[in-house]
Chains A and B, each alone.
Chain A
Amino acid sequence: QKEVEQDPGPLSVPEGAIVSLNCTYSNSAFQYFMWYRQYSRKGPELLMYTYSSGNKEDGRFTAQVDKSSKYISLFIRDSQPSDSATYLCAMTRGGAQKLVFGQGTRLTINP
């Protein structure tokens, strides 16, 4: 069993839709959670960084963490074609511990 599971998709939705991306994890020691967006031929871009259960909002993006269920989500509101990319979840135990990544979900927003 992988430490972090993420549905690889692909996921295709119409412009303006609400997108939900999800990851589950098995290691309860993970304390810090990140979501990255990666465009083709580019490095991962940090979108959200959270470390407590609950919601964190930044513009059209909301990160949700449920540590009791070992489940994290990223919601994208009013999705735009420019949001088309691969989204990766990542988590760490904290300090200088390494990141463990999900497989990434390829998202396409159709105009």
Chain B
Amino acid sequence: SAVISQKPSRDICQRGTSLTIQCQVDSQVTMMFWYRQQPGQSLTLIATANQGSEATYESGFVIDKFPISRPNLTFSTLTVSNMSPEDSSIYLCSVLDRGLGAFFGQGTRLTVV
């Protein structure tokens, strides 16, 4: 199964600033997914990132707020821009391993103060 590393594991940020989260996979994957998990809630998909093309965002999420890069088949970044306390969440990246299921990184716990 795919092994996913996420950095940072946690951060406390000032409102109005931006944070970039990195996701590294130990194998080449076509699609990577970014999720948000608000306190006590389930996972909500932010966007799907294909290598070499623009990310596809879900309803309620926009590129200006959550820009995503996907420079190669093993790496992606998600930036949370102009942060407010409402952005305090766990952010998770995920990949699909065909025939085995979907795997997640350990998440980035973001607190905005």
Contact = CB atoms under 8 A, between A and B. Distances in A.
Interface string A35-50: 0100001111110010
A49 to B, nearest CB: 4
Interface in B1-30: 1, 6, 30
Interface centre among B6, B30, B42 (most CB of A within 10 A): B42
Nearest to A89: B42
B60 interface: no
Contacts of B102: 34, 46, 90, 92, 99
Nearest to B1: A46
Interface residues of A, number: 20
B10 to A, nearest CB: 9
**Chain B, interface SS category:** strand
Interface stretch (A14-22, A77-85, A100-108): A100-108
A41 to B, nearest CB: 7
A98 B48 contact: yes
Contacts of A99: 33, 43, 45, 94, 102
Contacts of B48: 96, 98
A43 B48 CA distance: 18
A103 B42 contact: yes
A76 interface: no
A46 B2 CA distance: 11
A88 interface: yes
Contacts of A90: 43, 102
A60 B46 CA distance: 34
B42 A42 contact: no
A104 B6 CA distance: 23
Contact of A43 (B41, B42, B100, B106): B106
Interface in A36-70: 36, 41-46, 49
Contacts of B104: 36, 43-46
6 contacts: A42-B106, A43-B107, A45-B104, A49-B100, A98-B48, A104-B42
